[in-house]
Amino acid sequence: MNEDNIRTRLLSVTQLAAGYCALCENATEMEKEEFVDRMLDSLPRIYWEFFDITAEDLVTLEESDYRPDYVDEDYYDSIRRHIEAVLGPDDMFLETFEEDMKYSDTPIAASIAESLADIFQPLFNFISVVKDTDGDSLVEAYLQCKEDFVTYWSQTLCNVLRALNHIKYS
């Protein structure tokens, strides 16, 4: 991939991330069905972009060391509570990929709202760095978010997508 194509893709990822964050921040303004539909539209595209653009694609681009954390505990909890309010009793789902599940005789419940907030946090940090640096730290911000994607939120995204699909079609 050439440098211009990569920058275009990174800007597209930034727009997807910003759209997802706005969706989470405005969850209480939607009915549950609309929120679920929009999540089902957004999450697979986010997954694909973070899966498809590799660190090797970005080798030729400049990097910086700008890595602040924009989502504090109160902000995270407010996002989680807003989503939880929209989903109501449909917020909980059985988590089959939880590490503790191997040692448990009882099912382990997970929260869609908490899972979506867990995805929100690195995406919000990503778009905030890009915004605060006028795009100068786009590559570094993406690489940090990609590292977080590989480490934990990719599996969270897959699991919550399954739970949202269940709400949509059950």
Boundaries of every domain in the chain? 3-169
C-alpha to C-alpha distance for 168 and 108, rounded to whole angstroms: 22
In contact, 71 and 120? CB cutoff 8 Å? yes
Alpha-carbon distance values, 102 to 37, 66, 92, 114 (Å): 32, 38, 20, 22
pLDDT at res. 5 = 87
| DSSP H or E segment with residue 92 | strand 92-94
Task: Find how far residue 102's CA is from the centre of its chain.
Answer: 26
pLDDT at res. 7 = 86
Neighbouring CB atoms inside 10 A of 65's CB total 7
pLDDT at res. 159 = 94
SS3 11: helix
pLDDT at res. 60 = 52
pLDDT at res. 69 = 83
Q: Could you read off the pLDDT of 130-150 as tens digits, one per residue?
A: 999 998 889 999 999 999 999
pLDDT at res. 82 = 97
pLDDT at res. 95 = 77
* pLDDT < 50 positions in the chain: 64
**Domain 3-169 class in CATH:** mainly alpha
pLDDT at res. 59 = 65
